[in-house]
Chain A
Amino acid sequence: MSILEIKELTATVDGKEILHGINLSVGAGEVHAIMGPNGSGKSTLSYVLSGRAGYEITGGDILLNGTSLIESDADERARAGLFLAFQYPVELPGVSGMSFLRAAVNARLREQGEEEVDQLGFVKIVRAEAKKLGISDDMLKRAVNVGFSGGEKKRYEILQMALLKPVMAILDETDSGLDVDALKIVSEGVNLLRHPERSMLVITHYQRLLSHIVPDRVHILSGGLIVKSGDKSLALEVEENGYAGIDNVA
């Protein structure tokens, strides 16, 4: 069964239709990539999936584990196991990183009917995960994303993903703004989180991320539609010929 099933999805932003009928199915443990030129609707798709206000679904359906998400708010979708790694993680001055992470993890645990983690136990868990991503204790003590470099912000997104253990993770242009070394660290972090019960949708403009996070399927999004799907070689084709060289790309 598909973990994520997108059916004939249409959506508008400010009354303008951006997605014109997306169909996509991601199986358990699979990693799919969505590639596309600027303005093709990649970021809109990630916001629509995560339930951001202002991104209105006008038709079709989104199913997570067979359950429709379109009536659920963003926080409910997250607690159901959906995770969005932001292209531009948001700075939260005055919000302590540790209390933010714990609030998020406990919200998910409550939803699953499990016991919440106490502060002391939680700090240990976070430190262990942070270490794998090269995140320092000093970074963990700071306010959320405040004073972080571009690479640190992206690693912090992956740390959140590791702690929240989503069934479906959407990585929105996680490679943007990363230098070669940072891209390697982030990709390794993501690869560590690949799991038979965790699917991923990797949204990217460039092929370079996909040589680190190797996808099972690649889809080309153009003009609000998926115009072509294939295996990882499709990404190489884009690299070689550009989007203009792909059939049906607007």
Chain B
Amino acid sequence: MLPNIHNYDVKNIWQKTYLDSFLAQGWPSSKNEDWKFTSLSQLLTDSFDIALELGGDIAEKQAPKLPGNKHKYSLIFRNGVLDSELSHAGDENVRFSNLLDDDHALSLLKNNLLENHPIFNLTLGAMQSAVLIDVSETQVEQTPLIDLSFVGGIRKQSAHPVVVIRVAEKAQVKISEFHASANGLSAPIIVVNLAKGTVCDHIRCQVADLDTSQLGLSLVNQDAESDYNNFSFSSGGDVSRAEMHLNLNGENAQCKLSAIYLGRENQHLDITTRLYHNVANCTSDQIIRGVLDDRARGVFQGKIRVAQDAQKTDGQQMTRALLLSRETEADTKPELEIFADDVVCSHGATVGEIDENQLFYLVSRGIPTAQARAMLIEAFLIDTLTHIRAPELSEQVQFHIQDWVLKSALLSANNV
């Protein structure tokens, strides 16, 4: 069902265009190619009010666990609204301001040609907090860490926060996104704009309750010689989609995108990437691993588009799914659109089960079956984790993976 917005007033008149556009189209069905496997019109059955103010306490398990960093800048969104009392105020290295006051930054958001995208239209129309973060080139010994937490929230409301991170030339930054919002629908938009020669390590961790829907949209723009490393982990939400659109706009830019999704019960987990090689001499590398148990469904859609002038592009994509139960389903849709003639692009996909030979080898050494299964599931995920360049950011994800895997292995061992 559509959000309940007949009493809702937009903050700015231009937002109404987006909201109207969303309402005119509604949630997409499977007839829409971009939502073929994730039919929101079927999956989203509840109606929500737009969240307007801070709400919902932060449960302890929802708090992110990040190590200390002298240059950590935490922003906490509760109910999709920035909680300024709990958040860092910023400084000369990392500056926070209102996105709506900055025309250039706002154009970074609006210029994304996503006029038919439901989350783009709805969140632009309904956003309450829109934060602009400017990262300048710093001389500090530690790379600044921007820590964005989307927590708390009211179940009957939908949250639509927007964060635009503008990274100045040659600046370095680490970004940690933690999603454990209790909102019935959480639909944040995060924009990362990387100027020439920037280095950015970005981790997204979505571990929300299983009775929430988590539809995140990330928009990344890379200028020349920028270096972007993204890792996305999703294990929460009854419906989850981590969607990224990445534009390689300057030569010799490179990106690595890795993702893990872990699904159980009736979860529907979707990873969608849209990678645009717009200029020559850029490289992209994607590696995706999914583990599905019970009746969970996993979706990976990966588009790589290489423009006519984007010669010498190197674009790689590999996705693998491990099915722990016969009732799971994994759908994979790679899309390569190549208009240049001198490129190296590849994609691959596999779906499999736990290897009985490997399992027997472990148990024949006395390792209990549940532990043996857990070891094999973790081994399946390990080469994705080694993609993470900032080890201090991966600890939190590893904790959630171990927790999930152990639970799954114990349950299945008991069912054998």
Which A residues have a C-beta under 8 Å from some C-beta of B? 50-53, 73-75, 78-79, 84, 86, 89-90, 92-95, 99-100, 103-104, 107-108, 111, 143-144, 160, 164
Contact = CB atoms under 8 A, between A and B. Distances in A.
B366 A73 contact: no
A67 B360 CA distance: 22
B366 A84 contact: no
A75 B357 contact: no
B401 to A, nearest CB: 13
Interface stretch (B217-225, B234-242, B375-383, B390-398): B375-383
Contacts of A94: 378-383
Contacts of B375: 95, 99-100, 103
B379 A78 contact: no
A9 B356 CA distance: 25
Contacts of A104: 365-367
Interface string B329-362: 0000000000000000000000000001110111
B139 interface: no
A53 B366 contact: no
B364 A103 contact: no
19 contacts: A50-B364, A51-B364, A52-B360, A53-B356, A74-B360, A75-B363, A78-B365, A79-B366, A86-B361, A90-B360, A92-B376, A94-B382, A95-B375, A103-B367, A103-B371, A107-B365, A107-B366, A111-B366, A144-B361
A194 B380 CA distance: 37
Contacts, number: 71
Interface string B141-172: 00000000000000000000000000000000
A100 B366 contact: no
Contact of A73 (B362, B363, B365, B381): B363
A92 B372 contact: no
Nearest to A81: B366
Contacts of A52: 360, 364
**Most chain B Cβ neighbours within 10 Å, of A51, A84, A92:** A92
A90 B362 CA distance: 9
Interface of B: 356-358, 360-369, 371-372, 375-376, 378-383
A99 B368 CA distance: 14
A86 B364 CA distance: 10
A131 B314 CA distance: 45
A164 B364 CA distance: 11
Contacts of A103: 362, 365, 367, 371, 375
Contacts of B369: 73, 75
A91 to B, nearest CB: 8
Given A53-B356, A94-B383, A103-B375, A89 B366 contact: no
A144 B380 CA distance: 14
Given A53-B360, A92-B362, A100-B365, 12 more contacts: A52-B360, A53-B356, A75-B372, A78-B366, A92-B358, A92-B361, A92-B376, A94-B381, A94-B382, A107-B367, A107-B368, A107-B371
A107 B368 CA distance: 8
Which 10 residue pairs spanning A and B have beta carbons closest together? A94-B379, A78-B366, A104-B365, A90-B361, A75-B363, A94-B382, A107-B366, A79-B366, A95-B379, A74-B363
B365 A160 contact: yes
Nearest to B385: A94
B203 to A, nearest CB: 21
B364 A84 contact: yes
A51 B369 CA distance: 13
Contacts of B363: 73-75, 78
